[in-house]
Amino acid sequence: MRRVWLDGKGDFDEWRMAARGLLINGVPPDAVEWRLRDEEGADLFAVGEAETSVPEQAVAPLPSLTVPRAFMTLAEAVICHSDPARLSLLYRTLHRLQGEPDLLAIRSDADVAALNALEKSVRRDCHKMTAFVRFKEVDAAIGATRRRFVAWFEPDHHIVARTAPFFQRRFTDMDWVIATPKGAAAWDGKVLHVSTVPAENPMLTDATDELWRTYFANIFNPARLKVKAMQAEMPKKYWKNLPEAGLIPAMIAGAEASVVAMAERAAQDAPLFHSRLQAAAKIAEDIDRPPPGTLEEVREEARHCTWCALHCRATQTVFGEGPSTADIMIVGEQPGDQEDLAGRPFVGPAGRMFDAIAREVGFNREEAYVTNAVKHFKYEPRGKRRIHQKPNKSEVQMCKWWLRLELDLVKPKLVVALGATALSALTDDRQHLADLRGQTIKLAPDRSLLVTVHPSYLLRIPEEGRKQEEMARFRQDMARVALFAQAAILGKELGRQRARESEGSRSDDIQPVG
């Protein structure tokens, strides 16, 4: 039996060197006795023995040492645990790893499970230290610019050195000391000092603790008493060093009474300012209304549309946009994910595709009024995404009201229906898109309808050859729109010129002479 003496205060290197020596010499785990220097019965003889604890001879030397990185990380944590058995457990696992390199992946293995349990308890202790350390301010040295704080904490394990860097990263601009029975840590703005020498409770007070207690008492909701849940996360062993914990018994005892008192206190009349506020809100509602009979008024009304159920699920009404006197109106199906968020039509992938092709054929979308047959996005949530759903007949029917108003007010000469939904919203008789594709239909004496596919259809064609074919057809359709737009511009230009000419002749008449 080989006896190894360690300090066992969380120093990983100390254990690592010893374990390495043993392993190189092939010492089996059951031939090692791990002892701690300050444990009971560690007398002077034993300490003397420690110096001769270097293995004398090889039993069955191992060819090489391989240690997975994961073991090192695990062992660095486990070594901080206060259970003396951790030392032999770590060595046994290290020894087993030489023959079973994948051992750590088997979390159900008894040794691995035990190690993981120790690691978890160290992790929890570290976490509770970051949570429950309470700094108290102390007077700074004369002439010092940095404020000074001291805390007292009682950890279960040897975690001061392991946790100290957290406080350094967080409380950089102040000097602090954390004293514990298992050592201390201190930061002065330059160096982080740690020691394993047990410290004394400095028994300090801080005036700000009173404000913190006020906060703690008032953030508590007495109607939701759950004492067990509190104690699971903030066990009583920590209470003595928490300035707020002294309030807990009284808070629990008074909870029931304060809920009853709340229930018994009937609602009183509203304070005076309430009615003043209500009156002011009424007045505010009536101003800022857009003038009646304009597209702006319709847009404002459509914002509050609740005629079909789609409005509850969509973000907002996506109304048409573009010049209110446009010659061309583009009508799509319904807003998609991006349009729904942005509140503007044709800004998603299909809209970008539409813009790109329009540009190619020399048509500027800004000149047209762009809208959709249905003004709210219909979808089905799938995890973090929304799957587009086709609007049904009644939804299209309901939304026709808005489309008709847009047509009446914008008075376009050419309407472009993108896809079947737009087609059915614009024509009352039921017709197939494929039959009318590329055709121009008279909607009214001075209004034609051009029928084509929706750009999102082009995005969905999987086969490249057919996709190119369909894109070409769509381009042709858009080229006709472009042609119409140019003709319209020319027509307008001509009209303006004529107007100018006739105006010019008139203005000549009244021009003052000289």
Partner 1 sequence: MKKSLNERLAILSDAAKYDASCASSGTTKRDSSKSGGLGSTEGSGICHAYAPDGRCISLLKILMTNFCIYDCAYCINRSSSNVERARFSVEEVVWLTLEFYRRNYIEGLFLSSGIIRSSDYTMEEMVRIARELRVTHKFRGYIHLKSIPEASPLLIEEAGLYADRLSINIELPTDMGLARFAPEKQPANIRKSMGELRLKIEAAEDPTLQTKRRQRFVPAGQSTQMIVGADAANDSVILGTSARLYGSYGLRRVYYSAFSPIPDASKNLPLIRPPLMREHRLYQADWLYRFYGFGIEEITESQPDGMLDLKLDPKLAWALANRHRFPVDINTGEREMLLRVPGLGTKAVKAILSARRYRRLRLADLARLHVSIKKVQPFIIAEDTTPHRLIDRLDLRARFEPKPEQLALL
277-296 residues near partner 1, rule: CB under 8 A: 277-278, 281
Contact residue for partner 1 among 233, 428, 435, 463 (CB under 8 A): 233
Q: Is 125 in the site for partner 1 (CB under 8 A)?
A: no
Tell me if residue 508 falls in helix, strand or coil.
helix
Residue span binding partner 1 (CB under 8 A) among the ranges 15-23, 51-59, 212-220, 476-484: 212-220
Tell me if residue 444 falls in helix, strand or coil.
strand
- From residue 21, give the alpha-carbon distance in Å to each of 347, 355, 401, 446: 68, 73, 86, 97
Q: Is 148 in the site for partner 1 (CB under 8 A)?
A: no
DSSP state of 120: H
Contact residue for partner 1 among 136, 157, 375, 378 (CB under 8 A): 136
Site for partner 1 in 342-361 (CB under 8 A): 342-343
Site for partner 1 in 157-186 (CB under 8 A): 166, 168-174
Q: Is 67 in the site for partner 1 (CB under 8 A)?
A: no
C-alpha span between 164 and 162 (Å, rounded): 6
Chain-centre distance for alpha carbon 107: 31
Question: What are the strands, taking DSSP E only, across 175-277?
Answer: 175-180, 183-187, 192-195
Single-letter amino acid code for the residue at 23? L
Q: Do the Cβ atoms of 346 and 355 come closer than 8 Å? A: yes
Site for partner 1 in 297-336 (CB under 8 A): 303-304, 306, 311-317
Q: Is 234 in the site for partner 1 (CB under 8 A)?
A: yes
C-alpha span between 176 and 174 (Å, rounded): 6
Least Å distance between CB 300 and partner 1? 12
Q: Do the Cβ atoms of 55 and 21 come closer than 8 Å? A: yes
Residue span binding partner 1 (CB under 8 A) among the ranges 9-17, 219-227, 356-364, 432-440: 219-227
Whose tokens are 């254990």? That residue is: 15
Assigned token pair, 254: 């008074």
Site for partner 1 in 7-66 (CB under 8 A): none
Going by C-alpha positions, the residue among 367, 387, 308, 377 that lies closest to residue 344 is: 377
C-beta closer to partner 1: residue 304 or 442: 304
Q: Is 221 in the site for partner 1 (CB under 8 A)?
A: yes
C-alpha span between 89 and 111 (Å, rounded): 7
Q: Is 73 in the site for partner 1 (CB under 8 A)?
A: no
- Burial of 175-206, coded b for 16+ CB within 10 Å and e otherwise, reads bbbbbbebbbbbbeeeeeebebeebeeeeeeb
The torsion angles phi and psi of 301, rounded to 5 degrees, stand at -65, -40
Residue span binding partner 1 (CB under 8 A) among the ranges 81-89, 230-238, 328-336, 359-367: 230-238
Residue span binding partner 1 (CB under 8 A) among the ranges 64-72, 101-109, 422-430, 451-459: 101-109
Site for partner 1 in 189-208 (CB under 8 A): 206, 208
Least Å distance between CB 494 and partner 1? 43
C-beta closer to partner 1: residue 59 or 106: 106
Q: How far apart are the first and last CA of the chain?
A: 127
Site for partner 1 in 235-274 (CB under 8 A): 242, 244, 248, 251-252, 255, 259, 262-263, 265, 267-268, 270-271, 273-274
